[in-house]
Amino acid sequence: MSSEVGTEEVPAHRYTAALADAVEKRWQEYWEDNGTFYAPNPVGKLSAGDGVPADKLFVQDMFPYPSGAGLHVGHPLGFIGTDVFARYHRMAGRNVLHTMGFDAFGLPAEQYAVQTGQHPRKTTEDNIATYLRQIRRLGLGHDERRRISTIDPDYYRWTQWIFLQIYNSWYDTEQGRARPIAELAAKYADLPADERRRLVDSQRLAYLSEAPVNWCPGLGTVLSNEEVTSEGRSERGNFPVFRRNLRQWMMRITAYADRLVDDLDRLDWPEKVKSMQRNWIGRSYGARVRFDAIEVFTTRPDTLFGATYLVLAPEHPLVDELATAEWPSDVDSRWTGGAATPAQAVAAYRKAASRKSELDRQENKEKTGVFTGSYATNPVNGTKIPVFVADYVLMGYGTGAIMAVPGQDQRDWDFAEVFGLPIIRTVRPTEGFEGKAFTGEGPAVNSGFLDGMDVVEAKKAITEWLTEQGAGEGTVQFKLRDWLFSRQRYWGEPFPVVYDEDGVAHALPESMLPVELPEVDDYSPRTFDPEDADSEPSPPLSRATDWVEVELDLGDGPKTYRRDVNTMPNWAGSCWYQLRYVDPDNADRFVDPVNERYWLGPRTEQHGANDPGGVDLYIGGVEHAVLHLLYSRFWQKVLFDLGHVTGDEPYRKLFNQGYVQAYAYKDARGVYVPAERVEERDGKFFFEGEEVSREYGKMGKSLKNVVTPDEMCERYGADTFRLYEMSMGPMDVSRPWATKDVVGAQRFLQRLWRNLVDEETGELRVSEDPADEDTLRLLHKTIAGVHEDYSEMRYNTAGAKLIELNNHLTKSGAVTPRSVAEPLVLMLAPLCPHVAEELWSRLGHGESLAHGPFPVAEQRYLVAATVEYPIQVNGKVRARVVVPADADQEQVKAAALAEEKIAEQLGGKEPRKVIVVPGRLVNIVA
RNA sequence: GCCCCCGUAGCCCAAUCAGGCAGAGGCAGGCCCCUUAAAAGGGUCAGAGUGUCGGUUCGAGUCCGAUCGGGGGCACCA
């Protein structure tokens, strides 16, 4: 596999995989022994005691779940990217915080525990050890003192503490912020205790709710809306999900809906992620309008005159009341669903709707529904319009009822067509419009006092009118719902909550934290037939009876309580880990305010008046766009409102790295064959002589196309692997893995090494003579370019520039001048830190280069003495001319026109126009 | 159906932000050197007019408008 050092074939001191391995091990040990990547805190245990540089940088990876499968080459892409960034800035003199912890609660460990009987903690900790070994080998410059793990009681104690903060607060809509619950309780001081308690409890930001939740029998747990796919199945496992009423913890994230949308504008995040969050929060402005007892939500109150019927969701509470005993004598046969009475029709329709899965309801876009037998009054003109029940209206959005305006809404148009309902246009369609419903802009028609107004004006006018009449009011509607926060799992954070004999919840005092997980015999919740919608959750903690029943003194003497047997969702631990990285072993607080302000506080002088603070660079996959990143922002805002942190956003700049993808090959039977043994011939692919088909996508065990970083480190060394990964393309682009290409990165390092070290003797080989002019110019051009590339995360082009410089040295054939060797090595260091450290040390430096210096380009080498201008005639290059760099436009023009070939082209005629682009070219229009 | 991103040598990618000679770098390929031989060694050469059509401009890979292809997000949200 790797070449032997010292064999006859290969020079003893060539940069081979074996040599790289020795160098890498040596420097990894050095860094660890010397705490090279320790980033000092202003105060506390991690303070160096002599102050901190004002210039800091906090770089963070989305921390991994330590899976048992280990890493493939795709996983470290982001980790290496952040490491290069961190190393570059560290060398530039900034105080750089970069570390990595583990998001270690979660289903796989629990499921593995169920299969093997091994405690999830054991599995998880073993996996973490493996993970740490794998990432250590990559040479990531982490501050190891700051490693945290969400399963650590010292960590989840604070997760529970934050839960209590949220529980013990309410949202003051007048002030637009969360406030301590005690301030609310004070307002109700005059009320009887239990009424006060009920009022207060109903306004907490973390509250118990008996509302419908997503129950997933196949997983044996409930799920948040964000964890349910648009097909109505669990994101994990793809099991059916049913709506059920269960008493569960909820987080009042909807209180923050406006701020969560508005503050996106203050974040340096990819537009794509922002738009996904905006979409998910789904804010729309509209009005509520009352048709007698039925309240509807509409975004188009301006079309009220065109409302020809109402529709209620099948689950709407008024449906039963509205369903009359008999059909009107002239009822349209299409409206009855074939039933004898409206009550029967409605009951049958509701039953059918309840049996349909979310998926059926969405896929089947044919409009169905039945008439309730009732009519409602349109407040704007007193018209009686029929009320229908139809499943194209969803109970979960708005009021669960709509006014149907077929003229301006295609869904309503479709329904009206099926049921023979009238259609009135209230916006005049544009000339030549041939569609059905018209949803564009135009003047109002058939709309009484709104006629002639445009949509915006009409909305405003009708909203004012409705308000005056008491028939409605303007309102804002969100798609976002509160966050379901309980899970029926074992391997998660227990709730710091107990219930008394009346079932009333009591939060535990801070002094009783952490509430640690009990030992249990069976780690699994009871799971059910995935289709069994009527099954009952049975969390594993409920079986730890000794733990569940507990005697406590919560202020009114020792009493027996029952603990909450749910656990928090997997997202809890990741909602605040950047705060703990800052102060990982603070025993008194979740983070010291001084440390928090230094690493995460807003810096308006640097980032502008609107700076929300947060991690300076947060890198991870786009798959967390809505879940983790929304929850995390919510927690941060609560903590901010309560005065615990100084920034109101957790992540100032977000960057999504691309994925490393891979080809997979299938034989004629459709079975995957090992990708590494497939050969390509004439655009076709063969495995053991048989033609196979190729597909492109993920890397995975079952696809037989996994390549591991360990394997790459063995064959080429970590530096080569790092360089190759970073050279494959820009950080945000997904790219296909190609093992055969890795050798290119190794050849470069070999050549660079050879330019500085004698391959036969191992002696350093640099000259103390000054470099020639050309070399200096290239060197400084490279320095300037590399600076820019590193700070823009364009590592592929940074690498290419280094190769270019090194190729220049190789070609020159001379012994490399030290004055070029040193900056070259320093510039290489962020990408290939081990070999750079080794060469730096061999160049005679006693100190690690981790803290710089990073070379600085000298301006005088960046400006050339002469410039070569290409000369175009009518856009085609016809000649070139060399002029002094300081020649002005007239001189360049004169030189261009004097050029022999150009004079020839012009044939003695005067050019119509001559364009001189300074420093670039000359274009002559003949 | 709506929205977003991407199409440059055989392959991965530069140049697109700010219009100015299409090539920085790597893989693969040809040739040469080293070598008994070989390559994960060294050197060198060649290779596309930028998916397509149209527009703006003295000049378009770059800007604008269509269109095709690929990827992603949202989707009966009133």
**Per CATH, which fold does A864-925 belong to?**
Ubiquitin-like (UB roll) (3.10.20)
Question: pLDDT (tens digit, 9 = 90+) per residue, A595-646?
Answer: 999 999 999 999 999 999 999 999 998 888 888 999 999 999 999 999 999 9
Q: Looking at the C1' of nucleotide B10, which residue has the nearest alpha carbon?
A: A683
pLDDT given for residue A605 in this prediction: 92
Position A251 scores a pLDDT of: 95
Tell me the CA–C1' distance in angstroms for A604 and B2.
Answer: 38
Q: Is the CB of A276 under 7 A from strand B?
A: yes
Asked if strand B contacts A356 at the CB level, meaning under 7 A, the answer is no
Question: What sign does the dihedral A293-A294-A295-A299 (CA atoms) show?
Answer: negative
- Report d(CA A301, CA A304) in Å as an integer: 5
Q: Where are the alpha helices (DSSP H) in A501-626?
A: 545-548, 577-582, 593-600, 604-607
As beta bridge partners, residue A816 has: A766
The answer to whether the C-beta of A298 is closer than 7 A to strand B is: yes
- pLDDT above 70 as % of chain A: 98
Question: Is the distance between the Cβ of A868 and the closest atom of strand B smaller than 7 Å?
Answer: yes
Q: Identify, with chain letter, the residue nearest to nucleotide B27 (CA–C1').
A: A741
**Mean pLDDT within A350-370:** 75
Does the CB of A171 sit below 7 A from strand B? no
How far, in Å, CA of A721 to CA of A137, rounded? 11
For the ranges A703-707, A718-722, A779-783, the lowest mean pLDDT is seen at A703-707
Helices A17-34 + A718-727 axis angle, to 10: 100
Q: What percent of chain A has pLDDT over 90?
A: 63
pLDDT, tens digit (0-9, with 9 covering 90-100), for A578-592: 999 999 999 999 999
Share in percent of chain A as helix, strand, coil (round to 5): 40, 20, 40
CA-to-C1' distance for A365 and B1, Å?
12
Query: Where does the pLDDT of residue A4 fall: very low under 50, low under 70, confident under 90, or very high at 90 and above?
Result: very low
Q: CA of A274 vs C1' of B66, distance in Å?
A: 29
**DSSP secondary structure string, A20-88?**
HHHHHHHHHHHHHHHTTT---BSSSTTB-SS---S-EEEEEEPPPP--TT---TTTHHHHHHHHHHHHH
Distances (CA, A) of A283 to A277, A278, A383, A620: 10, 7, 31, 26
Ordered alpha helix ranges (H), A334-469: 342-355, 358-363, 410-419, 455-469
Left if phi > 0, otherwise alpha if psi is -120 to 50, otherwise beta: which for A398? left
Chain A 789-848 residues in 7 Å CB range of strand B = 794, 796-797, 799-801, 803-804, 807, 810-811
pLDDT in tens, A789-841: 999 999 999 999 999 999 999 988 889 999 999 999 999 999 999 999 999 99
- Please report how the helices A773-791 and A795-812 are oriented relative to each other, as an axis angle in degrees rounded to 10: 170
pLDDT category at A363 given cuts 50, 70, 90 is: low
pLDDT at A40: 97
A706 neighbors A75 (Cβ within 8 angstroms): no
Structure tokens at A294: 């039925």
pLDDT (tens digit per residue) in A28-83: 999 999 999 999 999 999 998 888 999 999 999 999 998 887 889 989 999 999 99
Q: What integer is the mean pLDDT of A523-532?
A: 82
Model pLDDT for residues A137-193, shown as the tens digit of each residue:
999 999 999 999 999 999 999 999 999 999 999 999 999 999 999 999 999 989 998
Q: Which residue is nearest to nucleotide B1 (CA to C1')?
A: A410
The torsion defined by the Cα of A554, A560, A565 and A567, in degrees rounded to 10, comes to: 20
CA distance A877 to A905: 11
Residue scoring higher pLDDT (A688 or A346): A346
- Grouping H, G, I as helix, E, B as strand and the rest as coil, residue A693 is strand
Closest CA to A173 of A399, A407, A520, A476: A476
Helices (H), ranges, A695-772: 709-716, 718-727, 742-756
Q: In the predicted model, what is the mean pLDDT of residues A545-570?
A: 93
Q: State the Cα–Cα distance between residues A796 and A782, nearest whole angstrom.
A: 14
pLDDT of A6 higher than 50: no
Q: Which nucleotides of B are covered by protein (CB under 7 A)?
A: 3-5, 11-15, 20-22, 24-28, 37-44, 58-60, 72-78
User: Is residue A920 predicted with pLDDT exceeding 90?
Assistant: no
- Secondary structure (3-state) at A903: helix
Count of other CB atoms within 10 angstroms of residue A419 = 20
Beta bridge partners of A352: none
Q: Report residue A360's pLDDT band, with 50, 70 and 90 as the boundaries.
A: low
A189-208: pLDDT as tens digits:
899 988 999 999 999 999 99
The angle formed by the CA atoms of residues A495, A498 and A499, to the nearest 5 degrees, is 135
Q: Among all chains, which residue has been given the structure tokens 């210096």?
A: A853
Residue A241, pLDDT score: 84
User: Domain A16-47+60-93+100-150+710-863 class?
Assistant: mainly alpha
CA angle, corner A864, sides to A861 and A865, nearest 5?
120
The answer to whether residue A344 scores a pLDDT higher than 60 is yes
When pLDDT is cut at 50, 70 and 90, the band that residue A8 belongs to is very low
Closest C-alpha to A294, from A273, A274, A321, A275: A321
Q: What is the pLDDT of residues A301-327, one digit of tens each?
A: 999 999 999 999 998 999 999 999 999
Flag whether pLDDT at A690 surpasses 80: yes
Among A115-129, A375-389, A607-621, A866-880, which is the least confidently predicted range?
A866-880
* pLDDT given at position A177: 96
The answer to whether A369 CB is within 7 Å of strand B is no
Task: Taking residues A86-107, report their average pLDDT.
Answer: 95
CA A378 from centre of chain = 45
More confident residue, A760 or A362: A760
| CA A855 to C1' B24, whole Å | 21
Q: Is A868's pLDDT higher than 50?
A: yes
Query: Could you give the CA distance from residue A673 to residue A686 in angstroms, rounded to a whole number?
Result: 10
Residue among A307, A340, A308 nearest A326 (CA) = A340
The mean pLDDT of chain A is: 90
How do the domains of chain A map onto residue ranges? Answer: 16-47+60-93+100-150+710-863, 162-273+488-563, 284-477, 663-697, 864-925
Residues A317, A293 contacting (CB under 8 angstroms): no
A768 closest CA partner among A821, A806, A812, A813: A821
Reported as a pLDDT band with limits 50, 70 and 90, residue A357 is low
Per the annotation, does A901 bind a ligand? Answer: no
The 10s digit of each residue's pLDDT in A896-915 is: 888 777 777 777 777 878 88
Fold designation for A284-477? Isoleucyl-tRNA Synthetase; domain 2 (3.90.740)
Three-state SS for A180? Answer: strand
- Mind listing the pLDDT tens digit for each residue in A386-425? 999 999 998 888 899 999 999 999 889 999 999 999 999 9
CB A720 within 8 A of CB A711: no
d(Cα A354, Cα A378) in Å, to the nearest integer?
29
Residues A887/A895, Cβ–Cβ less than 8 Å: yes
Question: Confidence class of residue A3 from pLDDT cuts 50, 70 and 90?
Answer: very low
A557 touches strand B (CB under 7 A): no
Question: Within 723-742 of chain A, which residues have Cβ less than 7 Å from strand B?
Answer: 727-730, 733-736, 738, 740-741
Distance CA A753, CA A19 (A): 11
Nearest to A871, CA basis, from A898, A894, A902, A900: A902
Start-to-end CA distance of chain A, whole Å, equals 64
pLDDT at A359: 58
The gap between A791 CA and B61 C1' (Å) is 25
**What is the C-alpha separation between A446 and A666, in angstroms, rounded?**
63
